Structure formats: C-alpha cells, structure tokens
Structure 1
Amino acid sequence: MLRDLREVGPLLRLLIGSQFAFNVGFFVVLPYLAAHLGGALGLAGWLVGLVLGLRTFSQQGLFVVGGALTDRFGARPVVVVGCVLRVAGFVWLGFAQGTAAVIGSVLLVGFAAALFSPAVETEVARQAVRHEQAVGTPRTRVLALFSVAGQAGTLIGPPLGAVLLLGGFRAACLVGAGVFLLVLAGHLRLMPHRAPGAPTAGDSGRQSLRERLRPLWRNRPFLWLCLAYSAYLLSYNQLYLALPQEVERATGTQTALGWLLAYASLLYIAVQLPLLGWAGARLSHRGTLRWGLLLVAAGFSVSALLMPTTVLGGLLPSVVFVSALTLSQVLIVPTVRAWVPDLVDDRQLGLFTGTLSSLSGLVVLVGSVPIGALLDLAGPWAWGVLALVPLAGALCVPRSEGTPGHGAS
C-alpha cells in the first residue's frame, strides 16, 4: 500500500489523504450527535430524527450542486469553500444551544460536505484515469486506495471522539473543526489552481442548467448504473436499519453493534487491494459490479437462513451479513467510481459524479420507509425479502462499458 502511495504522485496523495482526514473529522463528532441533542440539549426524539435527516439531505441530496460547481470552477475552490464551511459549522454546532442554532449548524455541516466530497471524488477519478494511461496501473487500484483511506478514517474517528467527549461535546466539535483546518491548509498550499488533465470551463461553463442536464437524462447507461448503485446503497444502509434490530433480537442488547462495525472497517482495509486486484484481472467493470450485488443478495439470504442458530451467541447471521456486505463494498464502490469517467463527457464529470450520489441518496431515503415497515411486520424473514433489492440492482447493471472520456448514449 505504501508503495502504491509513493507511485501515484503528490496530487493523488493529497486527495487520498484528504479522504482520510475528512472521515476522521466527521466521525469524531457525528456518531455522538444524537446523544448530545437528546441528552444535553433535551430535544424530543422526533426533533432529533428531523435534525439528523436534515443533515443527510443537506449533504447527500446536494452532491449534485457540488459536482456542478466543480465542473464550472475546478476542484480547488470548491474544496476550499467546503472546508471553510465545515469548520464554521462544527464551531457553531459546538456552541449551539437552541433548536434553530442546532438546525442551522447541522445544515451548514452537511452542505459543506456536499461541496468538498464530490469535488475530491471527481478529481481523484480523473487523476486515476490519467495515472492509468501514464503508467498502466488500473484506476480501480488508485480508487481502492482512496476507499481504504476513508475506511481508516472511519475506524479512527469514533474512538478518538469517545476520548474527546471526556472533555464534552464541544471539545469533539472543536477538534473536528481543527482537522478540517489542516485539510484546508493542505489544499491551499498543495492543490494546483487547475489540476493536470482537468478540462477548462469553456462553453460548458456558460450553458444553462437545463442544457447541462440534457445529456445526463439521455445517458441511459449512466442512469442504469445509478439504479444499480442505488440498490447497493439501499442494501448497505441496512447496517444502520436492519442490523441493529437483528443484533438486539439475538442478544437482547446492541452492545455488539459497535464491534461489528469495527470488524467491517478492519475487514475492508485488509482485503480491499488484494480482492479488487483479483477481480480486476478477471472481470470487467460490469462483471465486478454484478458479482458484488449478487454477493449482497447471498448475504441477506444466508443470514435469514441462519437466524435460528445460537452459534456465536446468536450473532452468526450478523457476522455473515457484515462480511458479505463489506466484501461487496470492496468490489462495488471503486468499480462504480472507475466506471463513471467512461460513461460521461469529462467536462461534466463533476455533475455526473454528484448526480450518482444524490439519486442514490434519494432512493435510500424513499426506500428506507417501506423497509422499516417490512422489518416490523416480517421480523427476521424480512431479510430474505431484502435479498431482492440487490438482485434487482444486478439486473440494472448497464451493458455498455462506455468510451473513456466521451460518455455513452
């Protein structure tokens, strides 16, 4: 892994390091937000849910805005503004006491990520393609490094936040803000004003929004890819919806949930590069995505069959599900990120990258309501029904591999 980091060059190292720092700064604060809102601030349960939902919408739902701005102005200014807003949002959140202040700060925190995340994801995909063309290293390997860095940040952030909470929620927020100040300083110093290979705004920068969106809605392979990825993301969201219910059903408590999520991060880091390298040598993007979705379906199905067992204190179905979901994540996420540049015009890579996240986030938002009802009604056997979600996604995988830099129709 260290050799790969040395080979990719300073710009990609900056982008990969930024992803690590983003997740450390994020997970120092956000896992403890609900407890702070309901405990220290005494907000009602429905209001806590509303605040968390608004944060998700202001981030995931507005990725398309950050992507479009990246196409127009380049990655550097969008990342810089996003980091400034995230610092301001965390500081505000740390001192917020009233409901309006909490909502405002959380919206600012979410919108900041809607700026810098698609900007960084767009640029890392573009530079991964350039690196592949220059030295022959598969772009999926570079994108795998990006994903591993994010998982490492996810693993480090929560325990660091737990330690910081000994000094209060405000201390965690201020440290989170400090992390983003470091990222901001790094990008101001090291990020070029125009990254190598990035297209100029040109005529596309002066197009109206309707003109810029027209090729998006006509790009059928990309839209099918969005549907396939949405099925994966809706399935992945069961880590936070179905898995906690299953852990409590099996053990009477959710204590094991944190250990299962830590296991998922460690497994991801351990197998990401070798597993994706094995798949990349044997499968196309289409084949890798399809097998990843089938693996998710198998995870749901096998877990449902194992639920009567008492092995591992009743946690065997949860371990099987987390393992299958993590291995599928290893295959799917870098593959989709590597595939998008081949399906779209490079001048609109940011817009399409942001749209992928926004549309899939909308599917998760809408799909979580009936899935929650299904889990309440059907209990453990709902997991067998949930296997249909990734199976449907596998049917949506586009047939076209695309043409690098030119998109598809």
Structure 2
Amino acid sequence: MSVLLRRWSILGRLGELPRPMRLVVLGQLAFNTGFYLVLPFFALHLTRDLGLGGALVGLLLGLRTFSQQGLFFLGGALADRCGTRPVALTGFVVRIAGFLLLALAEGPVLLVAGTVATGVAAALFSPAVEAELARRAGALERTHGPTRSEAFAMFGVAGEVGVVVGPVLGSLLLTVDFAVTALAAAGVFAVVLVAFARGMPREPAAHAGEPVLAGWGEVLRNRAFLAFAAAYSSWLLSYNQLYLALPVELARAGSAGLLGALFVLSAVIVVVGQVPLAEVVRRRLGPRALPVGFAVLALSFLATAVLVGVGAPGPVPAVVFVVTLTLGQMMVVPVAQDAVGRLAGERRLGAHFGVLASAGGLAALGGSALLGALLDAGGPPALPWAVTAALPLTSALVMGVLVRRVPALHADTLAAGRPS
C-alpha cells in the first residue's frame, strides 16, 4: 500500500527530481497561491470598494491578460539570452512591485501600473521557468529518471494546489481588506524570490550575447513548431471559457453560486488524477494523446451544447463541461510541453515556450471576443458551445497529421523508453 501511495503521490514523485527542478515545481505552487489570492477578488474590489464602472474594470482585466500572454515571447527570448535565474528573479521583483501598487491604488494611474506590472512579471518568469524545467527534465529523462511529461505533470499538479489554496486564503483575508490580500500575495512572491535566489544555480545562458531577434528568427523558421503552436493555441481559448462561457451558463441555469465550487472541482481532479493519468497516457497513447486530448476538449463543448439544447436540469451541463474539459487538459498539456523541447531540437527553449504562450493568448483574445458576441446575441444558448467545439476539433485533426508527419512527434520518438 505504501508503495502504491508513493507511486501516485506528488510529494513522492518530487523526491525523484534534482533540487533545481523541485524548486521550479514547488515555485509553481507558490506562483498560483499568490496569484489566486488576488485575481478572483480583483474585479469585486474594483467595483465594490473603488466604485469603478464596468468598462474600466474590463479594460484593467484586459490589460492584465495582454501584458502577460502577449509578452511571453519576449520573456522567453530574454531567458535564452540572459539565463533563467536573472530573468525569473526580475519577474518576481516586478510582481511584488505590482501587488504593492495594487494595495496602495485608489485611482486609475496606480491601478493601471499595478495591473500591467503583475502581467509583465508573469511574462518574464513563466516562460523562463518552463524552459528551465523542460531543459533539465529532458536531460534527466535520458538518464532514466522521471520523463519530461511526468515532470510537467507534477508542475501542473503543484499549480492546481495553488489554485485551491490561493482563493481560500484570499476569501479569508478579504474579510479584512483588499490591501491586506495584495500585501499577502506580495509576501508569497518575496518568499519565492529568496528561494530562487538561494536555490537556482548561477549558470551561463545557452545563447548569451546573441541578439534577441536571432531567437525569434529561429522559431519563425521552424515550420513544424509554428503549425504545432497554432494547433495548440485552441487549448488556452478552451480553458478561458471557464471564465467567460461557464459563468454565463451557470447564470442561465440559476446556479451562479456554484462557480467557485466548480473551480475547486477542476483543481481537485488535476491534483488527484494528473500524475496517474500521465502514466496511463504515456503507456497507452504516447503522442496520440495530443489528437485524442483535443478531441476530448471538443467533446466538452459538444456535450454541453447537447445538454443545454435538450434542457438538462440545473448545473448538469456546467458540471459535465468542467469535468470533461479538465480531463482533456490533463491529457494534452504535459505531452505538449514535452513536445516543445523536441520540436525545438532542445534549442532556444525560452523563445519557443514564449511564442507558444503568446499564440495561445492571441487565440484566446480573438476567439473569446467571437464567443462573447455569440453569448450577447441572445440566440439559442447551445449555439456558442457548438461553435466553439469546432476549434479544438480542428486542433485534434491538425495534431493527428503532425503526429504522423513530423519526426519529433513520431510514436517511436515520444514513446521510446520513458517519454512524454
């Protein structure tokens, strides 16, 4: 029994990772704890405490998303040129400053500055630490340690723990004051800053001294990776419907109060199931997890459309959507993050991860605008769900072609030994 528990325990698997990789995985838990201390309550603070109108609130939330996802390509390229450690540490400092500004802000100037700073910070540290994990996990896999997809599964589980812990702590602190919540989040990142400063080795950057444009040029010449990034971008668009389409559906069904519980449900599914599912996917599907996983994402929207169309009671469509979407996420993300390193030839991982995230941000921006227009149009409530299903379904078809035609994604590459 103890062996079985250790096999599936995130803590047990963490013990198999070298110290820098453990730091990155546990750092992800801290990142999400600090971030979700604030994010779920930010709009409420802006409207209830500061009395801002909906247009300004929407602008601030849009600025945060754009300054984060839109600039990932820059943070990734800087990580290649300057190294993970300095870029990540700079990101932590910028996020601490952003939370401090939000704690002090009572007017639009400091609010905009704090909001943009929190987004830019993630654009610096996220692609840097993901590239670092990919690089070290790829080397560890070649010595018969945990595979890169297993390392990213642990990374995802740790992040989901933060998604659960952060809002719980934030809801408790919000009873005191939003400024206290923002200061607490800054404190979390101060701890992360110290831990990374002490624990992340000082190593020369893989492309030190080379122009940043050289990294982007290499990415843009990698046609297989660009096709992969375009197909993968529908994942972030799909995930963002937890924030856009899901609340609308719950409100339509008279179950708006269940939104928080469904976020917790999604996080718990990942925490409990990600590591064992990653093992099953590795053994049974290999790279076919990509087309199959995107097909599951499409199914989450199609099933919701059908349930809404036939008048399924209360929150049933929303619950089915969250559970199915989460399963698709768990199948796709670890395998895709491993595939980035293979498609990049283990070079310029920061630039590749950055461009991958920015592509997802652009897809989420454009696709969510289209879906928002459909939701506002007042047509059949099942229509937006059915239309959105076409996007991950298209990705499933493209991924199926790529898996067959791109050598880095062939089954004998990804499934040999203990692969992603």
Aligned equivalent of 1:291? 292
CA distance in 2, matches of 1:74, 1:299: 39
The superposition leaves residues 263-321 of structure 1 with CA deviations (integer Å, 9 ceiling, x where unpaired) of 11111111101111101012232x1111011011112112222225666x521111111
Are the equivalent residues in 1 in contact too, given 2:84–2:205 (CA < 8 A)? no
Does 1:402 pair with 2:402? no
TM superposition shift of 1:163: 0.3
2:341 match: 341
CA distance change for structure 1 residues 208 and 87 in 2, over 3 Å: closer, same or farther?
Answer: closer
Task: Give the unaligned 5+ runs of structure 1.
Answer: 405-409
Is 1:223 the counterpart of 2:231 in the alignment? no
Aligned equivalent of 2:211, options 193, 207, 211: 207
Secondary structure of the equivalent of 1:167?
coil
Q: Of 387, 390, 395, which residue of structure 2 is paired with 1:388? A: 390
Q: Deviations over 1:301-343 (max 9, x none)?
A: 12222225666x5211111111110001101111111100101
In structure 1, the partner of 2:6 is none
What residue number does 2:150 align with?
Answer: 141
Asked if the contact 2:16–2:145 (Cα under 8 Å) also holds between the matched residues in 1, the reply is no
AA aligned opposite 2:180: A
In 2, Cα distance between equivalents of 1:87 and 1:23 = 14
| TM superposition shift of 1:73 | 1.1
Match of 1:267 in 2: 269
The structure 1 residue matched to 2:25, chosen from 16, 33, 37, is 16
Structure 1 residue 7: Cα displacement: 0.9
1:8-407 equivalence runs, <5 A:
8-194=17-203, 200-201=206-207, 205-207=209-211, 209=213, 211-251=214-254, 253-285=255-287, 287-307=288-308, 313-377=313-377, 378=379, 379-397=381-399, 398=402, 399-402=405-408
Task: Give the partner amino acid of 1:246.
Answer: E
What is the distance in 1 between the residues matched to 2:26 and 2:388?
Answer: 35
Give the partner amino acid of 2:87: V
Instruction: Show structure 1 runs of 4+ deviating over 3 A.
Output: 308-311
RMSD over aligned Cα, in angstroms? Answer: 1.6
Q: Is the 8 A contact 1:68 1:354 kept in 2?
A: yes
Mapped to 2, the partners of 1:130 and 1:212 lie a distance apart of 21
TM normalised by structure 2 equals 0.91
Secondary structure, aligned partner of 2:175: helix
Distance 1:246 1:294 in 2: 22
* Letter aligned with residue 351 of structure 1: A
1:91 Cα offset (Å): 0.9
Q: Following TM superposition, by how much is the alpha carbon of 1:115 offset from its aligned partner in structure 2, in angstroms?
A: 0.7
Structure 2 vs 1, CA of residues 13 and 193 (structure 1 numbering), >3 Å: closer, same or farther?
Answer: same
- 1:297–1:390 Cα contact (<8 Å) kept: yes
Deviations 1:191-220 (A, max 9, x none): 1011xxx76325xx32361x3322222211
Shift of 1:110: 0.9
Deviations 1:323-374 (A, max 9, x none): 1100011011111111001011434110111010011101110111111112
Count of matched residue positions in the alignment of Structure 1 and Structure 2: 395
Contact kept, 8 Å, 1:201 with 1:347, in 2: the verdict is: no
Shift of 1:221: 1.3
Letter in structure 2 aligned against 1:266: V
Summarize the Cα distance change of 1:129–1:34 in structure 2 as closer, same or farther, 3 Å threshold. same
* Structure 1 residues 208 and 354, CA gap change in structure 2 (3 angstroms): closer
Q: Is the 8 A contact 1:307 1:314 kept in 2?
A: no
Q: Is the 8 A contact 1:16 1:145 kept in 2?
A: yes
Q: Verify the 8 A CA contact 1:292 1:331 in the aligned structure 2.
A: yes
In structure 2, list runs of 5 or more residues that go unmatched.
1-8, 414-420
